[in-house]
Amino acid sequence: MLHDNGILVLGAGELGMAVVRTLVRRTAPAAIPVAVLLRPATIQSTDPVKQKDVEELRSLGVEIVPGDLSDQSGAALAAIFRRFDTVISCTGFVGGPGVQLKLARAALDAGVKRYFPWQFGVDYEVIGRGSAQDLFDEQLDVRDLLRSQVQTEWVIVSTGMFTSFLFEPAFGVVDLARNTVNALGGWDNAVTVTTAEDIGALTTEIVFSEPRIANQVVYIAGDTVTYRQLADTIDRLMGTEVLRSAWSVDELKRKLVQEPGDSLRKYRVVFAEGRGVAWDQQSTFNAQRGIAVSGLEEWMRSNAVIGEAARTT
């Protein structure tokens, strides 16, 4: 069924599903159609997790549009995007170099009224070009492209790190199995974190905000904490004392030289340098609108982090 005024979400990962759920709740009374672009392999997958997501999308009445952001040409993607007023990219960096720019060009070529690029993360402009994470330069190219035109409105939502990523063992900041917290760059360095669910809800609020939000960067935050506050919170909630280790910028850069293609080592250097990765919660969209969000402690409680830690220590 074709629509000419709907919203297309690119991807249905952790963030994409969160965005879709809140969009559907918000748009149902107004009968604004919501669609999701998924790779054909995902739609047909026998993986139980992917099957569950596809079934949920169908139960929500969301149209599933087949497409491959990595393999398809910009022209082919533009042909898909052209049906929709608004395109929200929730793809992450999984497509590799060049994909973000291709998507932005496709949105402009399609003449969509509004485009939300995948920029759900740090403040790339404060970080600047030439950072340890080379994919960030392309994010600045996307911003330059969007600002160079007036036909398509754009909105960038800066969220900081996903709260759950802070607890990913592979990232190396919180290692509950080893009862350790490692500070990136020093204990007074801060990081802004927001849950995927809050990003989804706040993005939906931004989409429908009055007066209309257009052609600007919007900052949101679930919490902004120093690594010291993070370790103290874990100590307090677990009733223990975590082992603390500070990883200096120089040390992390040396480790990156040893494995220059390791994306997690790239991220660690960027966060250790401490630029563009944290901002004042009071200045955020959610604070100014009085919208409740999940802070670090609330996320830990609701995700049973405390119980998991107790079992592994």
Nearest Cα neighbor of 305 from 176, 194, 187 is: 176
What does the alpha-carbon distance between residue 240 and residue 311 come to, in Å, rounded to a whole number? 13
pLDDT-based confidence at 226, cuts 50/70/90? very high
CA atoms 50, 198, 278, 129: torsion sign: positive
pLDDT band of residue 78 (cuts 50, 70, 90) is very high
Could you state, in order of their start, the residue ranges of all structural domains in the chain?
Answer: 6-160+195-219, 163-191+222-279+290-312
- Evaluate if residue 306 carries a pLDDT over 80: no
pLDDT in tens, 101-150: 999 999 999 999 999 999 999 999 999 999 999 999 999 999 999 999 99
- Supply the mean pLDDT for the chain: 93
- Please give the share of the chain, as a percent, with pLDDT higher than 90: 88
Please write the tens of the pLDDT for every residue from 4-36: 579 999 999 999 999 999 999 998 877 899 999
Q: How far apart are CA 100 and CA 34, in angstroms?
A: 22
Scanning the structure block, which residue is given the tokens 């960038």?
A: 156
User: Is residue 7 within 8 Å of residue 207, measured between CB atoms?
Assistant: yes
DSSP string, the chain: ---SSEEEEE--SHHHHHHHHHHHHHHGGGT--EEEEE-HHHHT---HHHHHHHHHHHHTTPEEEE--TTTS-HHHHHHHHTTEEEEEE--TTTT-TTHHHHHHHHHHHHT-SEEE-S--SS-HHHH-TT-SSTHHHHHHHHHHHHHT-SSSEEEEEE--EEGGGGG-TTT-SEEGGGTEEEEES-TT-EEEEE-HHHHHHHHHHHHT-SSPP-SEEEE--SEEEEHHHHHHHHHHHHTS--EEEEE-HHHHHHHHHHSTT-HHHHHHHHHHHTSSS---GGGSHHHHHT-----HHHHHHHTTHHHHHHHH-
- Cβ burial, residue 243 (10 Å; 0-12/13-18/19+): exposed
Band of pLDDT at residue 258, cut at 50, 70 and 90: very high
10 Å Cβ neighbour count for 256? 19
Superfamily of domain 163-191+222-279+290-312: UDP-galactose 4-epimerase, domain 1 (3.90.25.10)
Residue 96's pLDDT is 83
State whether CATH 3.40.50.720 applies to domain 6-160+195-219.
yes
What pLDDT is attached to residue 307? 53
Per residue in 183-201, pLDDT (tens digit) is 999 999 999 999 999 999 9
